[in-house]
Each structure stands twice: as structure tokens, then as C-alpha cells.
Amino acid sequence: MEKQFRVETLLEGDQAELYESVLAEFERASGMSLSEVNRAILQTGMLFHLTMMTSMGVVPSEDRRDQLDALAERVGGDNLLWEIIELARRHWRGGGTGAIDFKA
């Protein structure tokens, strides 16, 4: 059986307003279900965080980094933001820190 997690959280203030706005725009533009929207938002966030963690040395084991990179590619290959995640990966692994210059 595949692993499953039920993720639940409470958003307040600006985060709640941002979430409400994202949902409204997804609903207006795509007709995606609430579950699909939440999955896409969570997937994108996890991919960005994992990319940062594996690229900036938070995951010290090279074997573990390779495993996590392969998993991220399987999960994120069809994500609309995958190319941006790849830019971040190259930036951070190339010794860059902080913000990424997308114009470069």
C-alpha cells in the first residue's frame, strides 16, 4: 500500500488572505477541485524546500540527497513550476545563496 498522510493546518491573517486569493484564482481559471489545489500548493512547497535543503547542505549524505532528488523528479516532473525549481537547484548547488536571479 502506498504511503498516505492527511495534512491539516490553520491559516490566519495575511496567510489566510493569500490562501483565499489563490483558491479564488484557481477556481476562476481552472476549475480544479479544492483537493487538487491543496495538493498542488503542498507539492510545490515541498519541492522548493527539499531543493533548498539538498542543495545547501542541510542533507549531508550524498546517497540520501540522490535518493531525495530522484523522488523530487518523480513527483515534480509534471509540476508547472519544475523549471523554476531546477533554476533554484542550479543556483544553490553552484554556490549561490539567498535569492535567485531569474533574469540571469
Query: What is the DSSP secondary-structure string of 14-33?
Result: HHHHHHHHHHHHHHHHT---
pLDDT band at 104 (very low <50, low <70, confident <90, very high): low
> Residue 50's closest CA among 59, 62, 39?
59
- pLDDT digit string, tens, across residues 53-84: 888 889 989 999 999 989 988 888 777 777 88
Q: Inform me whether the pLDDT recorded for 9 exceeds 70.
A: yes
Residue 85 covered by a domain: yes
Arithmetic mean of pLDDT, 3-8: 90
Residue 104 covered by a domain: no
> Residue 40's closest CA among 85, 11, 79, 83?
79
pLDDT band at 17 (very low <50, low <70, confident <90, very high): very high
Residue 22 covered by a domain: yes
Residue 101 covered by a domain: no
Under DSSP, the state recorded for 47 is H
Range of the domain at 66: 13-93
Residue 3 covered by a domain: no
Number of domains in the chain: 1
Residue 103 covered by a domain: no
Residue 24 covered by a domain: yes
